[in-house]
Structure 1
Amino acid sequence: MKRALVFLAITFGITYAYDFLVVYPIAQGTAPYASEFLSPDLAYMVAVALTMFFPALGVVLTRLVTREGFRNCVLKPRPWRQSLPWFAVAWFGPLLFVIAGAVVYFLAFPDDFDPNMTSFFAAQREAAAASGADGATLAAVDASAANPPLFALILLGQCAIAPALNLVTTFGEEWGWRGYLMPKLATRLSTVPTMLVTGIIWGLWHAPVVALGHNYGTGYPGEPFGGIAAMCAWCTVLAIFLSYVTIRTGSTFAAAIGHGAVNGTTNGVTLFSLSGGNPFVGPLCTGIVGGLPLLVVAAAMLWNMRRREKAGTLHIPEAGLPDGMRRSRR
């Protein structure tokens, strides 16, 4: 547990310091350097994206500081016959539960369903016109609005390749959470508390940017603590899915693929919402309604892990060395 605590101290220390010293000034418009090369919104997105590398940096520094070395990095997958199906689950599973969650939401709130994405295209055209876009750009927006099925197919194709596009940044997070913290906690805790603690810690790691409005916006009752609590709950459910594919493949890359799929598909369903959706409700899978399919999947995975743990057939990859051991010198 000592190395896990060192990892958390380093990762949270670096992340929170960066958030308060870099991300907050950019978000609040008090960082003059942010607008010299990028628009404020883009500068904020880039600044937040960079934090995704800090958990991996935390792993590297922990392994160096504690003289653990770089054995057991949870990178090499199990034999492909065992792991390939679970890589496929990591790649395509999020798209399926995001779509399923949107279906559940729109069945519950049919008046919010906008199959032709009229609200989205109207907002796109208004934004393009306000920015002084030329006629060709406006015509392209109108062409997309005239053929919603084709646009939806293009959107679906983009979602399908999202795991590959996001792999580098999501690996930065997942090597820390699923490739180091989760296996370390599993040496001291049983499966259920390991998953719960990992998820809550992961959610709290996001707390500074959630307080800025990241993922849950602003102006909601109980701000920002309601958003932070919702983020912890969401991260706990998602952590079960990502941990499960990591355990079944033996590789952090499965979690990175799954995380990339989630990041690349989640927001697409809001295009079909007249209201734009509510992150606490749906159609986003972060909401209590839109997230129901993921919750069911995570519950089934957690039950399966608990059952296999009792049977002695749950094999969680080992990360690094046990506390008290150091790499041997030659």
Structure 2
Amino acid sequence: MKNGTFARPFSLKVYLLIIFALSWPFQIAYPFLGEAFKPLLLVSMIMVAVGSYIAGKFVFRDGFENAGWQWGRPRHCVYAFILALFLWVFPRVIEQLLGIYKAPQEVSPATILAGFLLSFTITLIPAFGEEFGWRGYLLPRLFARYSTRRALLLHGFITWVWHLPVLVVMGLKMTGNPLVSVPLVMLISLIPTVMHAVVFAYIWSSTQSLAVATVYHAAFDEVRDTLEGSVGLGPLSQNWQMLILTILGIALLWKAKWKTRQLQ
């Protein structure tokens, strides 16, 4: 009993039912409605926060005390931007210099920067939606139930499952038999997605800040989308980030010191 009302113990199944019921319809609707409705994916991200708020406030009534309500230090945000640039801009520059992939059109750096700043600003709220849900709310409860590594892997697997509607669409857009391309995209994305979730978790855990994790999330998404929409992304750019995030995630999972006690 909390604050004079009865509260039920946290249930992962109930929590995920709430999150998926609120967010998946937007992911599923987008491919049927067309590219003009791509912002529905941002709404889906926001729904992760809405569902987490409903769970913590009204269903389990366990609050959000350990979510990471600190701004973090400015240098942490700088590091987050540097990581996003290393994952996307670095391989794209290498592609251009080596002639692996040439830009399909000439775009000025000022135009690219302006486009990025606008999209980054817009994406901050949806990015916070995911960070609040997956890291701020879910992960502390998994840390309280499971070993550190198991909790991290489970939360990473959940984020992969949450992205399945988008992954299915990516597979359907590939040339060839969708019965092959869809499972292939799902399989190839599994480990990098789980390991990227570990990277997200480490940023949040080490800084104790949803703000820093949100900055990284928005930077990662919008550096990628800005480059893709302007100068394009070649094969090195698309695979580089998967390789680096997989290596980084495994290293953090194996060697990092996780601040889990303060989050329980």
What TM-score results when the alignment is normalised by the length of structure 2? 0.79
Match of 1:28 in 2: 32
**Identity percentage of aligned residues:** 19
- Judging changes above 3 Å, is the alpha-carbon distance between structure 1 residues 85 and 189 closer, same or farther for their aligned structure 2 residues? farther
Match of 2:168 in 1: 211
CA RMSD of aligned residues (A): 3.1
Match of 2:250 in 1: 299
Match of 1:260 in 2: 218
- Give the counterpart letter for 1:219 in structure 2: T
- Verify: 1:98 aligned to 2:88, yes or no: yes
1 CA distance for matches of 2:95 and 2:156?
A: 24
Shift of 1:98: 1.8
Structure 2 counterpart of 1:59, from 52, 56, 74: 52
User: Rg larger in 1 or in 2?
Assistant: 1
Match of 2:130 in 1: 173
1 CA distance for matches of 2:176 and 2:14?
A: 35
Q: What is the SS of the residue equivalent to 1:68?
A: coil
Pairing of 1:67-86 with structure 2 (within 5 A): 67-77=60-70, 83-86=73-76
Q: What is the SS of the residue equivalent to 2:67?
A: coil
- Verify: 1:230 aligned to 2:188, yes or no: yes
| Per-residue CA distance 1:303-327 (angstroms, 9 max, x = gap) | 342xx25xxxx346536xxxxxxxx
Match of 1:3 in 2: 11
Match of 1:197 in 2: 154
| Per-residue CA distance 1:154-213 (angstroms, 9 max, x = gap) | 424654675444211111111111111122111122222222221221011111232123
- Judging changes above 3 Å, is the alpha-carbon distance between structure 1 residues 187 and 106 closer, same or farther for their aligned structure 2 residues? farther
Match of 2:140 in 1: 183
Answer whether contact 1:91 1:163 (CA < 8 A) is retained.
Answer: no
2 CA distance for matches of 1:165 and 1:28?
A: 24
1 CA distance for matches of 2:130 and 2:35?
A: 22
Answer whether contact 2:88 2:223 (CA < 8 A) is retained.
Answer: yes
Answer whether contact 1:211 1:227 (CA < 8 A) is retained.
Answer: yes
Answer whether contact 1:210 1:227 (CA < 8 A) is retained.
Answer: yes
185-194 vs 172-181, greater mean Cα deviation: 185-194
2 CA distance for matches of 1:154 and 1:17?
A: 34
Pairing of 1:154-169 with structure 2 (within 5 A): 154-156=111-113, 158-159=115-116, 163-169=120-126
- Judging changes above 3 Å, is the alpha-carbon distance between structure 1 residues 94 and 243 closer, same or farther for their aligned structure 2 residues? same
* Structure having the larger proportion of residues in helix: 2
Pairing of 1:133-148 with structure 2 (within 5 A): 145=106
Pairing of 1:259-278 with structure 2 (within 5 A): 259-270=217-228, 272=231, 277=234
For structure 2, the 5+ residue unaligned runs are: 1-8
Structure 1 counterpart of 2:207, from 245, 249, 253: 249
Shift of 1:258: 0.9
- Give the counterpart letter for 2:135 in structure 1: R
- Judging changes above 3 Å, is the alpha-carbon distance between structure 1 residues 157 and 237 closer, same or farther for their aligned structure 2 residues? farther
1 CA distance for matches of 2:120 and 2:31?
A: 27
Shift of 1:71: 4.0
For structure 1, the 5+ residue unaligned runs are: 30-39, 122-144, 320-330
Shift of 1:219: 2.9
Answer whether contact 1:56 1:176 (CA < 8 A) is retained.
Answer: yes
1 CA distance for matches of 2:199 and 2:110?
A: 26
